[in-house]
Chain A
Amino acid sequence: MSLQKPDQDANSAILIGVGLRHQHFTEALTTPSNIDFVEVHSENFFAKGGAALSVLAQASKKYAISLHSTAMGLGSAQGVPSHYLQKLNQLASTCNPILMSDHACFSWGQLNGQQVHAGDLLPLAYSEQTLMVLAHNIDRVQQSLGRSLLVENLSAYIQYSHACMPETEFLTRLTELTGCKLLVDLNNIIVTANNINAAQPLSYAQQWLAEIPTDLVGEIHLAGYTEVNEGELIIDDHSQAISNQGWQLYRYALERFGKVPTLVEWDNNLPSWQTLVAEADKARAIAGQVFDDDALSKINMTTKELEGEFTHE
């Protein structure tokens, strides 16, 4: 089974995308931009018909599509229900996505003897048993889809006392067991670093990336979060522009992992489409610097402006 993804050899350009949300449908379809691909949340297109599917069909003519699921609950001991997989398969067959992903989390459980979906990305305990469950479910999903998945790291709001390995080891072993690759969400690492009171969040995040083998990353997510007061936990709300730390970590990630497809996520407090595209342009410019290609010539951002992004730390 091979991941259906774009060529990443040294001569190819890095693919930069943005999350496509309902409020941006019209502009995304009608405004010229440098965007290579758009990511949509799979479940928002599970309807049998209607306007959203029509928009997706139009978007897929203009952009490559990445299907990012948020409800598969890959680590659920309840398993991933067949009815969910049928819908995901159906959707994938209609939009031919270049990437398909979900999270290292669980979502399904039981209440009063009935199956329930928690509607959230719930954290996994990094134990041998959880690894077996997650790997088993991913294997089943990949068999069903006939392709590899990208699995994303979460932001942590709690820590399990019975976890027996670091997150990076857990994820690395997961790729070995299943053949999946990782979707590394840089913002999630920074959020976790802050929430566990890491002395130097950026150093923590760089170390996290350093522990991931260089050939395991299939996509990078960039996002921002709302600052909180001391003593409060940061919520991964995707409601702000990418932080300076986020951009610094992105540069480090590109240097380590190469030309990995990169997506700018912004889900709440949505900016204009132009602002979102500008964030993607910024990512492209950084990639241009890291890989010393002509990406910078495509956008109106000077090296000086880019360096300015990092001078406030």
Chain B
Amino acid sequence: MSNSVLKNTSLQAAFEIVAQQQQTFICDIFPSEDNEVKNEFDPRGMAIYRNNLLATAQQALAISFPTVLVLIGENLFHYASRQLLISSPPKHGDWALWGDDFPTLLADLAQLVDYPFVADIAQVDLHRQKSMRARDTVVDRASLQLLATHDIDDIYIELSPSQFVMGSTYPVIEFWLSHQQAVISDTTEALNQSFIQPSLDKLAQEDFFQKVLIYRPYFNAEIRELPASEFAWLTLIKQGTSIGKAVDIISNNDKLEHGFDFAPWLGLALEQNLISRLKT
């Protein structure tokens, strides 16, 4: 065998030996249903690594899901964080990217069976966090000229990466807004008038389904309710439907009580940074 082959073999062997050692260590510090740690190390030291992992996970989720923390309280939030470490351990080396499965975990949590809307609130938090980390975009104004030179059947919209659409059978916008730091100190009467009564009114509606837009005009992500026609519009645009065809589909949809007018929407979209550019 040549020197380089020997060197590679030796390196491969080293990686295998070290991988085995490190694998044992990783398994010992991640939480599991079986909490007992059996290894050669000082249990005080292992406890530090385990606690660090849990504390960092809790802190990371608290940053990504601040409204959920306020809603369910620290104890349940910490329990849920530990459960997420077990079911969906981090894999990116960037804690901000951990937590995509948190809404689903909350939806399945026995302690929240009477509060099914918490999972949808988690989805709002998650979309806001993703929105605020999305690529900064300023609309390509030159691309708007396509409206003057091309048929709208041939023009498509590239939406801004910082906007997200979701739906819920609960009035999540009212729930979410009522748990923000700026309003939780309001009086009971103010909270009732601003959020609780509107929420109850909406819940009383048959087949209530709230359509939600999360968008980022500048650095802070905003949230607003979408009319059914705009929700349908954004869904079509996301699917790659041209402007002209999307307008036709919505106009011919008898279920949409209010029509859709593209021109004012474009003004709103520019104001709220919803689109990156037009394209053919």
Q: Determine the chain B residues whose CB is within 8 A of the CB of A23 once the complex forms.
A: none
B90 at the A/B interface (Cβ < 8 Å)? Answer: yes
Q: Determine the chain B residues whose CB is within 8 A of the CB of A83 once the complex forms.
A: 92
Q: Mark B41-59, 1 if CB is under 8 A from A, else 0.
A: 1101110110011001100
> Closest Cβ of chain B: how far from A119's Cβ, in Å?
5
> Could you list some 27 contacts between A and B, CB below 8 A?
A48-B133, A48-B161, A71-B93, A77-B19, A77-B22, A78-B22, A84-B92, A84-B93, A108-B93, A110-B23, A111-B30, A114-B91, A116-B26, A117-B89, A119-B53, A120-B29, A120-B56, A122-B25, A122-B49, A129-B14, A130-B18, A132-B15, A133-B18, A156-B45, A157-B49, A158-B45, A232-B44
Q: Determine the chain B residues whose CB is within 8 A of the CB of A111 once the complex forms.
A: 26-27, 30, 89
- Cα distance A6–B145 when bound, in Å? 50
For chain B, the count of residues having a C-beta within 8 Å of the partner chain is 48
- Cα distance A232–B42 when bound, in Å? 11
A76 at the A/B interface (Cβ < 8 Å)? Answer: yes
Which residues of B from 23 to 77 have beta carbons under 8 Å from A?
Answer: 23, 25-27, 29-30, 40-42, 44-46, 48-49, 52-53, 56-57, 60
User: Contact between A158 and B136 (Cβ–Cβ < 8 Å)?
Assistant: no
Q: Determine the chain A residues whose CB is within 8 A of the CB of B49 once the complex forms.
A: 120, 122, 157-158
For chain A, the count of residues having a C-beta within 8 Å of the partner chain is 53
- Cα distance A235–B151 when bound, in Å? 66
Q: Mark B194-213, 1 if CB is under 8 A from A, else 0.
A: 00000000000000000000
Q: Determine the chain A residues whose CB is within 8 A of the CB of B30 once the complex forms.
A: 111, 116, 118
User: Contact between A76 and B22 (Cβ–Cβ < 8 Å)?
Assistant: yes
B150 at the A/B interface (Cβ < 8 Å)? Answer: no
* Residue among B11, B48, B96, B136 making CB contact with A157, cutoff 8 Å: B48
Binding site for A on B (CB under 8 A): 10-11, 13-19, 21-23, 25-27, 29-30, 40-42, 44-46, 48-49, 52-53, 56-57, 60, 89-96, 132-137, 161-162, 219-220
B contact face: mostly helix, strand, loop, or mixed: helix
Q: A78-B19, A117-B92, A161-B40 are in contact. Are A235 and B133 (CB under 8 A)?
A: no
Q: Determine the chain B residues whose CB is within 8 A of the CB of A73 once the complex forms.
A: 93
Q: A77-B15, A116-B89, A122-B49 are in contact. Are A51 and B132 (CB under 8 A)?
A: yes
Closest to B26 in A: A109
> Closest Cβ of chain A: how far from B160's Cβ, in Å?
10
User: Contact between B41 and A117 (Cβ–Cβ < 8 Å)?
Assistant: no
Closest to A76 in B: B22
Q: Determine the chain A residues whose CB is within 8 A of the CB of B90 once the complex forms.
A: 116-117, 119
